[in-house]
Structure 1
Amino acid sequence: MAIRGSYAKGIAKRAEILDVALEVFATEGYRGTSLRKVASLCNLSLAGVMHYFESKEDLLVQILRRRDDANTIAGTTEEQEDAFAAALGRGPSEPGLVALYVTMAAAAANPEHPAAAYFQERNAKLMELSVDSYYKDKHQPGAEELDYFRAMARVILAAADGLQLRWLVDPSVDVAGDIKLLTKATRESMSLKLMEWAPASE
């Protein structure tokens, strides 16, 4: 059923605020982004923006959450790797988003910052998706296997974060290509480890 009335208007206004906030961040940076400026550009009062978002930090984190919702990662291990690399490869067309992601990643070092919960949830979700896809239709992994796989997943996530930072400094960096190479090497390494563990797993 189509969404109508004030609810639909609220969804549209929220999306507009997110779009405008990203534009402001892309041109003005973190310090130059304020709720008042975003409110003015959206023809809203400060209270009007805060009806949707608790703070500037909350607003910026919600931009990242919306991006994640749009970049659904599912399917087999290989399909997930391709989707993950493709999402990272959109950086040149979304420089403001990349800059925002890197800025919020640094802010997440403060456990009180709204970005901290976002990155914890995001990383946990990506790791869980990786484990589920890799072991789907396979044997039940042991503790050693899971520890190894999760360590490899952490390396990939850390590399993705680092490559996005490098891309901001040097746009010639092929973030998607580098991540594809790393995920392929990781998958091959995992396959070799599984061969070692196979006798104990049977």
Structure 2
Amino acid sequence: MVGASPKGAARREEILNGLTEKIARQELRNPSLREIGRALNIEPAHILYYFNSREDLLQSVIMRWDEDARAAVHPDIVTLDKFAEQLRRNIAIPGVVHLYLNFAAEAVDPRHPAHEFFRLRFDKVAVNLAQRIREEQAGGTIRAGVNPESSARQLIAIADGLQLQSLVNANINSVKDMFDAIASLRV
């Protein structure tokens, strides 16, 4: 991999962190490679030394956001309520949510470089949510007739839809609405 040396890895991280920060603050929206270079004060060709393409760089931003989100929640205490609470964190970084939603929409094309990332991410989140639903069913807090797999996919769709709506209208209380969706599953 290009930039695999410690100095190269550090430079790659510097580019990734700088772009993530600018996108999170909504300083860049669907930026071209030239705009990214200008914002980071780096030649586009230099960016391409560390990332295969603009899409590779933007996917790296989304992957970093996803890793940070997972790290913020201890895996042993993941709950449906923590899933809802993640929306609060996401809404605080609207530029990254905008990038995520745009990239997810583009990645429906199997040839898109992020297609497999999103497919695996949706599968992993659905499996985790379905497991949480089963656990709550066993504990008697979610109705036995609720289909865990279907409900998990619905919760993901609701979360993504609420985040989109919050980008369009900042007055929407997406976190409350997500908690309401989860409450509708409970006894």
TM-score between the two structures when normalised by the length of structure 2:
0.77
Cα gap change, 1:133 to 1:92, in 2 (>3 Å): closer
5 Å-filtered alignment, 1:120-199, equals 120-135=119-134, 148-186=147-185, 188=186
* Post-superposition offset of 1:41: 4.2
- Report the RMSD for the aligned CA atoms in angstroms: 2.9
Q: Against the structure 1 CA distance between its residues 48 and 173, is the aligned structure 2 distance closer, same or farther, given a 3 Å change threshold?
A: same
- Distance in 2 separating the partners of 1:24 and 1:181: 30
2:10 aligns to what? Answer: 12
Q: What is the aligned-residue identity percentage?
A: 32
Count of matched residue positions in the alignment of Structure 1 and Structure 2: 173
Q: Does 1:48 align with 2:46?
A: yes
CA contact (8 A) 1:35 1:56 kept: yes
In structure 2, what is the Cα distance between the partners aligned to 1:152 and 1:12? Answer: 42
Q: Secondary structure at 1:109's aligned position in 2?
A: coil
More helix by share: 1
Deviation (angstroms), 1:163: 0.6
Q: What is the TM-score normalised by the length of structure 1?
A: 0.72
Gaps (5+ residues) in structure 1?
A: 1-5, 140-144, 190-202
1:70 paired residue number = 68
* Runs of 5+ consecutive residues of structure 2 not aligned to the other structure: 139-143
Q: What residue in structure 2 maps to residue 197 of structure 1?
A: none
State the SS of the aligned residue for 1:70. helix
How far the C-alpha of 1:134 sits from its partner, in A, is 4.4
Query: Match for 2:58 among 16, 38, 60?
Result: 60
Bigger Cα displacement from structure 2, 66-75 vs 83-92: 83-92
Establish whether residue 85 from structure 1 lines up as the match of residue 87 from structure 2: no
- Aligned residues of 1:20 and 1:42 also touching (Cα < 8 A): yes
